[in-house]
């Protein structure tokens, strides 16, 4: 009974055009990533194996595997995560739930945003002065992890504040009206409904911490260190370690005669560690979001 008018047909054409342009933009973003990852895996395929993961570098890092830098990266990421996450989340809760909007909070929020844009080399020098020299930790796993934690705190604080602010105010008011304290409201209502956004900040923290080189180079990572293969507790908090990002830089620029597949294999493992941690965090986030009531 109804026929499309010229106006409705024009709107449909515009809709199809907009959809095609947006799809093209998405393809332009995703396609280079797929090509880069595919090229890395193709170049690294001859060397990828379980033995490559569980053996130490040998022959001046021209042979062997990546066990010692892989374990060091895991140490650095996990420790920095354990330090930065609770501090960042609690700071965001205080800024969003307990403080009022005034010049002081605006200055603090501006400082957090500016800190997120500070170059990593500046964080490296800060970590060297604050943790290695002033705190007396020396160049160690703990000093490097604390430096990474400071570097990633702004991302966690900013993402947590956004997640907390997204929870509707009537949720809080309903709790207050039945006699709940502010902390009870935060713990039982606000945090469960904002955990997805908090995990987003944690995901970004993991990705950045695993790939940084300058902060850990100044504070705790060494050119080479042999450890017991297969031992997950081979590093101590107050000793130095290797890391995948530093190892990749070293064998790519400082060591002659390295097999072609070795740097690519290291890059693929580093990318795989980041993707594995991100995937785990995303699964947890999706599971928690499925329980959300709004």
Q: Which domains does the chain have, with CATH numbers?
A: 67-290 (1.10.3720.10)
Cα–chain center distance at 277? 9
The residues near 216 (Cβ < 8 Å, ≥ 6 apart) are 76, 124, 144, 147, 148, 243, 245, 246
Q: What is the pTM of this model?
A: 0.86
Structure tokens at 84: 């930065």
Residue 278 CA neighbour count, 13 Å, CB half:
16
pLDDT confidence bin for 71, thresholds 50/70/90: very high
Contact between 178 and 189 under an 8 Å Cβ cutoff? The reply is no
pLDDT, position 127: 93
pLDDT bin (cut points 50, 70, 90) of residue 181 is confident
pLDDT band at 293 (very low <50, low <70, confident <90, very high): low
Residue-wise pLDDT for 229-253, tens only, equals: 888 888 999 999 999 999 999 998 8
d(CA 147, CA 253): 25
58 three-class SS: strand
Beta bridge partners of 102: none
pLDDT (tens digit, 9 = 90+) per residue, 38-68? 999 999 998 988 899 989 998 888 888 899 9
Residue 111 is predicted with a pLDDT of 86
DSSP tag of 104: H
What is the Cα–Cα distance from 56 to 221, expressed in whole angstroms? 16
| Mean pLDDT value of segment 167-185 | 87
Average pLDDT over residues 274-281: 79
What φ, ψ does residue 243 adopt, rounded to 5°?
Answer: -145, 150
Across the range 254-269, mean pLDDT stands at 90
């Amino acid at each position: 009974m109804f026929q499309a008018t010229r106006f409705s047909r024009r709107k449909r054409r515009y809709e199809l055009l907009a959809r095609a342009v947006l799809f093209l933009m998405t393809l332009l973003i995703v396609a280079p990533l797929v090509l880069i990852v595919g090229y890395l895996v193709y170049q690294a395929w001859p060397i990828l194996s379980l033995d490559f993961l569980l053996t130490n570098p040998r022959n001046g890092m021209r042979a062997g595997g990546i066990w010692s830098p892989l374990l060091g990266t895991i140490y650095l990421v996990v420790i920095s995560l354990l330090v930065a996450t609770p501090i960042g989340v609690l700071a965001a809760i205080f800024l969003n739930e307990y403080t009022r909007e005034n010049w002081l909070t605006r200055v603090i929020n501006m400082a957090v945003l500016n800190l997120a844009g500070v170059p990593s080399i500046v964080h490296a020098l800060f970590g060297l002065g604050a943790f290695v020299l002033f705190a007396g930790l020396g160049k160690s796993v703990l000093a490097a992890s604390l430096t990474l934690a400071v570097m990633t705190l702004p991302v966690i604080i900013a993402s947590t504040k956004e997640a907390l602010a997204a929870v509707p105010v009537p949720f809080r008011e309903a709790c207050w009206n039945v006699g709940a304290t502010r902390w009870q409201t935060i713990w039982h209502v606000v945090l469960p409904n904002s955990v997805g956004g908090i995990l987003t900040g944690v995901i970004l923290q993991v990705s950045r911490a695993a790939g940084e080189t300058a902060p850990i180079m100044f504070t705790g990572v060494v050119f080479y260190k042999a450890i017991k293969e297969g031992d997950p507790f081979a590093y101590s908090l107050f000793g130095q370690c290797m890391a995948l990002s530093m190892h990749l830089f070293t064998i790519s620029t400082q060591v002659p005669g390295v097999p072609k597949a070795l740097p690519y294999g290291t890059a693929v493992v580093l990318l795989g560690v980041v993707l594995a941690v991100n995937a785990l965090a995303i699964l947890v986030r999706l599971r928690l979001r499925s329980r959300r009531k709004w």
